[in-house]
Amino acid sequence: MSTAGKVIKCKAAVLWEQNKPFSIEEIEVAPPKAKEVRIKILATGICRTDDHVMKGTMVAKFPVIVGHEAAGVVESIGEGVTTVKPGDKVIPLFVPQCRECNACRNPNGNLCIRSDITGRGVLADGTTRFTCKGKPIYHFANTSTFTEYTVVDEFSVAKIDDAAPLEKVCLIGCGFSTGYGAAVKTGKVGPGSTCVVFGLGGVGLSVIVGCKSAGASRIIGIDINKDKFEKAMALGATECISPKDFTKPISEVLSEMTGNTVEYTFEVIGRLETMIDALASCHANYGTSVVVGAPPSAKLLTYDPMLLFTGRTWKGCIFGGWKSRDDVPKLVSDFLEKKFDLDQLITHVLPFQKISEGFELLYSGQSIRTVLTF
């Protein structure tokens, strides 16, 4: 019996309020309205950004269903949808691509005006498709993937190759693409260059993969957790250091290690102090530093403008600079052509019901990416 046009009852992980654990609930998911797509989620990754919502360092409306890195199959479509059809394998996009706004039309832009980075928590028509116990549940980042079914706007979904293994390519929905693109697209790392990556989680390791594929000759990984060094080296880092092993500022350590030749640095943590460290660590005149880690909301940064005056470039980066609907299908095809490996980034696969265990693995530093399957 087809579910198209009907309300679907399914399991979801609901955050009823800030700083409270996930609650697995039965929710109702309304059918898609015009230009909307209902997706059966089959795999979703656990990303630090979801934790930012739980802890209140990222703005969202509660109660909410978070999760934004996923892959699934189209269950049904609303009126006027032309780019996907029921049965298509898809990746939901937390950075949409409407193809009409200034950012979408500019060849260098990718932060579509339809992006929900202010925590509105609703679809384009201003309403939500989720209810639980008679209450509306808000969406997160145009996606909401910690649920068996979700509804997204058509501009927030990309059709991908039917051969793609969803439990792996779900990482292309956020973590992998963000890090890889920071190196190859935003930073534009050049062959023979020296790169430094601050933070060796899933996104930081993806930056390393990008630096390596761009031909960097020296890639230095930095983390206070030395357990992460082995994986970083396996993915392409040439050496790894911990700031805790030095008394002098890390920028001086790196300058001495490299003979002052660091061209590219990447901050993949989201801490104000490390953003300044990363900026100070690239070459004073021709260095580029890319901010990849999501910064804490409502915090201001104080830095010495001389760091920029001498010629450095400081860049931000959302979703690796990729135009989501155009580039996600290409990245999936590149994966299928073995241009990069996602297996090394996935350390744990758990059933969706064990979502809280997956977050514990993140907090303890034991996991790089945990993928939840339905």
Residue type, 46: I
Point out the least confidently predicted range of 67-76, 110-119, 242-251: 110-119
* Mean of the per-residue pLDDT values of the chain: 95
What mean pLDDT comes out for the span 38-45?
98
Backbone φ and ψ of 330, nearest 5°? -70, -40
Q: What is the pLDDT of residues 99-111, one digit of tens each?
A: 999 999 999 999 9
Q: Residue 299 — pLDDT band, cuts 50, 70, 90?
A: confident
pLDDT at residue 133 above 60?
yes
Report how far apart, in Å, the C-alpha atoms of 356 and of each of 14, 25, 63, 274 are.
Answer: 12, 14, 17, 29
pLDDT at residue 231 above 60?
yes
Query: Residue 182 CB: number of other CB atoms within 10 A?
Result: 33
Between CA 154 and CA 79 the distance in angstroms is: 11
pLDDT at residue 1 above 60?
no
- Give yes or no for a contact between 282 and 312, defined as CB atoms under 8 angstroms apart: yes
Q: Residue 298 — pLDDT band, cuts 50, 70, 90?
A: low
Helices 48-55 and 355-363 cross at an angle (nearest 10°) of 100
Q: The whole model's pTM is what?
A: 0.94
Q: What is the pLDDT of residues 300-324, one digit of tens each?
A: 889 999 999 999 999 999 999 999 9
Q: Residue 76 — pLDDT band, cuts 50, 70, 90?
A: very high
Q: What is the pLDDT of residues 197-228, one digit of tens each?
A: 999 999 999 999 999 999 999 999 999 999 99
Whole-number pLDDT of residue 296: 75
Whole-number pLDDT of residue 118: 83
Q: What is the pLDDT of residues 245-271, one digit of tens each?
A: 999 999 999 999 999 999 999 999 989
